[in-house]
Chains A and B, each alone.
Chain A
Amino acid sequence: MLAGVVWLLAWQPSPPVPEQRRNDVVVQYWEKWTGVEQDAIQQIVDDFNDTVGKEKHIYVDMLSMSNIDQKTLVATAAGEPPDVAGLWDTKIPQFGELGALTPLDDMAAAHGITAGYYKPVYWRGCHYNGHLYSLVSTPATIALFYNTKIFHENAAELRAAGLDPDRAPRTLHELDRYASVLNTFKIGPDGRKHLDRAGYIPMLPGWYITDMPIWFGADEWDEKTKRFTLTDPGVIAAFNWIQSYSIKLGADAVTEMQTSQGGFNSVENEFIAGTVAMEMQGPWMANYIHHWKPEMDHDWAAAPFPSAVGQKLVTYAPFDALAIPVGAKHKKEAFEFIAYINRQDVMEKLCMLHCKNSPLAKVSNYFLTHHPNPYIRVFEELAWSPNAHITMQCPIASEAGQELLALAQGVVALQLDPETALREAQVRLQARYDDFEAKQKIRQRDR
């Protein structure tokens, strides 16, 4: 019986490696993407396995999974991490601070991947505490998508309000005015006015709602002083602006509009269905529009999301990170794969398949002219902008993000006064960070 138990514990399913590659080093690659994005990355993995991998006797075995951050972390703590982990950029500071990731500085430099190779915003995002902890698989910049058909159908009303129907709003105040003209209402069965089409709603889709302060010239975290800055007037103004839509349209109307949509990846998507005229989105939206409603391909455009304080080309620049967890068994081979993805031709292929901009400084003309998003130059320009922001470089960013998301939901539901709520969150989060830092100091002292 004991022998049976030992055999069961020792038994491991063999990886799905082709017979002829059994002697190669197998790099375990965990990736968060599913669906078409997973298919795209699988294409790149297959390309690698058939070319560089074959030549260097490396075989990459990709596994797609949910909750990749938590699984990677637990596997790292258990000493059995994957060789490459496709993490969210928001996790890099937390994982880096806790020593869960291998610094890639030397390996990257040896492959010629240095600061000049990348667009500055993404190079910054791959670093934490002066170390390079990841490279990019696919990046994005966030912009304003607007429905040109709705704009043209309402050209007279827009002109009457002193607005140009042939362009996107250039200031946040102007965006509010466009939204106001494009809102339409209908009488519901309850005899009340309901929002039938929204010009703009901050919580649709709301993915970047907690990053809104950057369009108000403010940050929520000061990396130098290691302090949250939630009481900064710009942060308060951003959350007041978010709430202004619930005040103008009614919290119930906003809730009804934002919750009665189908899934993002569906024909019921609010922007694709035309129930929202403007939306904050990443370049990938072009792929989804084309997939679900190809007849809409020429009825939309993208422009930089306007700033409230007159700054030009303000954007949030998230990315998918490729990192090597501490304890990975094949670090050198893992980096060969990461470096392969970071080759200009490979990166451009992947970014075109994912319908995203490139993180690299050099971009080919082919990429710009054949990209599935006809406005890719807008996203590229945003990525180069000095006003492009990366995720909060704070080791308790996960906690802060949850706190701020709940706060935003309360603000939209008119349950919370933005300033009061932000003051309370400031105290709570700063105390959490101070405690975290104190414990880290104890660990360092006792080392």
Chain B
Amino acid sequence: MRRIAIETRNIPKGLAFISPWLAGFAVFLLLPIIMSLYYSLCDYNLLQRPVFVGLENYRFLIHDAVFWLALKNTLYYGALSVPAGLGVSLALAILLNRRVIGQPFFRTIIFLPSLVPTIAAAILWKWLFNQKLGLINWALSPLYSLLHVQGPAWIDQPGWVIPSLALMSVWGVGNTVVIYLAGLQDVPRELYEAAELDGASGLKQLYHVTLPMISPVIFFNLVMAVITVVQVFDIPFMMTQGGPNRASYFYTYYLYDNAFSYLHMGYASALAWIQLLMVLALTGIAFWSSKKWVYYQGK
């Protein structure tokens, strides 16, 4: 009883301590969220007063061919980059978890690309992808000669641009690798010993011990990757400007153009709300499916 009284007395103090955060949250997050919901029901161009149009922006969205194209591009990119990123980072983490000479060096090398600023990475990869002068086509030229084919134009060919950007996204998996590594180091050693005693091969140990034990980490990385993919913007903005022929025009890029180039702030707000619903739906699916494949110790 006395404890409750003390806690009640401390509420104002507690609120005072978190008030800067509360104020920041209210002004910079909650208010814009509410305003964007209102603007999504308006025609609004930043400079003139909003005109209330009800659900018109949402109705327009259904018939907007560019919206569907941007959505399709984003999902296609996600379908390539999420599994590739998760798979490659897991494989790298497993390799880096082995006790080998120079382990810290290799860990640093794998993590380094994550430290490269996006703009620098974009310029670097633009050159790597250059059809005639790029190192990728140069390295693959013996293969092209063997197959009698021409090296692709990578980011400049409509059919190649999204796979190229997905390939590039794998380069920056250092953060995900670190999270996997932390998960791998938490797997109890005795489980591997027991599996070895039962005659399980390395592959079977991976499938029956490692993957189930780190499944919560895989799940976390999956959810983060899905959220990141739906919001992808900076790399295509800098490298392809959404081209060629809108082949790399992603959802957030279309939202940005509507908001700041075309000044359809109301329509952009509607796009943002649909994006939020999309993230919620995809995350919901991931959570629903997690019951079947994510194993939590102690449950």
Contacts and interface: CB of A to CB of B under 8 A. Distances in A.
Contacts of A252: 150, 153
Contacts of A412: 244
A287 interface: no
Nearest to B53: A439
A100 B48 CA distance: 9
B245 A409 contact: yes
Given A73-B263, A188-B150, A398-B262, A260 B47 contact: no
Interface in A398-447: 398-399, 402, 405-407, 409-410, 412-413, 415-416, 428, 439, 442-443, 446
Interface string A56-96: 00000000000000100110110000000000000000100
Given A1-B20, A190-B148, A256-B131, A409 B244 contact: yes
Contact of A99 (B47, B133, B249): B47
Contacts of A190: 144-145, 148-150
Nearest to B123: A263
B260 interface: yes
B47 A259 contact: no
A82 to B, nearest CB: 16
B130 interface: yes
Contacts of A224: none
- The binding surface of chain B is classed by DSSP as loop
B257 interface: yes
A105 B260 CA distance: 28
B148 A398 contact: no
Contacts of A255: 131, 153, 156-157
Contacts of B244: 409-410, 412-413
A396 interface: yes
B133 A262 contact: yes
B262 A410 contact: no
Q: Which of A1, A268, A402, A446 has the most CB of B within 10 A?
A: A402
A192 interface: yes
B139 to A, nearest CB: 13
B262 A260 contact: no
A260 B132 contact: yes
Contacts of A36: none
Interface string B149-160: 110010011100
Contacts of A410: 158, 244-245
A16 interface: no
Contacts of A110: none
Contact of B130 (A259, A407, A428): A259
Nearest to A400: B262
Contacts of A189: 141, 144-145
A191 B73 CA distance: 34
Contacts, number: 94
Contacts of B257: 402
A415 B148 contact: no
A99 B48 contact: yes
Contacts of A446: 51
Given A410-B245, A413-B158, A260 B133 contact: yes
Q: Which of A190, A399, A407, A439 has the most CB of B within 10 A?
A: A439
A5 interface: yes
Interface in A246-301: 252, 255-256, 258-260, 262, 268
Contact of B47 (A73, A194, A256, A262): A73
Contacts of B65: 428
B183 interface: no
B246 interface: yes
A300 B251 CA distance: 44
A426 B242 CA distance: 21
A98 interface: yes
A218 to B, nearest CB: 22
A74 B263 CA distance: 10
Contacts of B130: 259-260
A446 B242 CA distance: 38
A399 B262 contact: yes
A412 B45 CA distance: 33
Contact of A398 (B20, B47, B246, B261): B261
A1 B133 CA distance: 57
A70 B133 contact: no
A259 B246 CA distance: 16
A98 B148 CA distance: 56
B159 to A, nearest CB: 9
Nearest to A255: B153
Nearest to A441: B51
Interface of B: 20, 43, 45-49, 51, 53, 65, 130-133, 141, 144-145, 148-150, 153, 156-158, 242-246, 249, 257, 260-263
9 contacts: A73-B263, A256-B131, A259-B130, A402-B257, A406-B243, A406-B249, A407-B245, A409-B243, A413-B157
Given A190-B145, A442-B51, 9 more contacts: A70-B261, A189-B144, A190-B144, A256-B131, A260-B132, A410-B158, A410-B244, A443-B48, A443-B49
The 10 closest A-B pairs by CB, nearest first: A260-B132, A410-B245, A259-B156, A409-B245, A77-B46, A409-B244, A439-B43, A70-B260, A98-B47, A399-B262
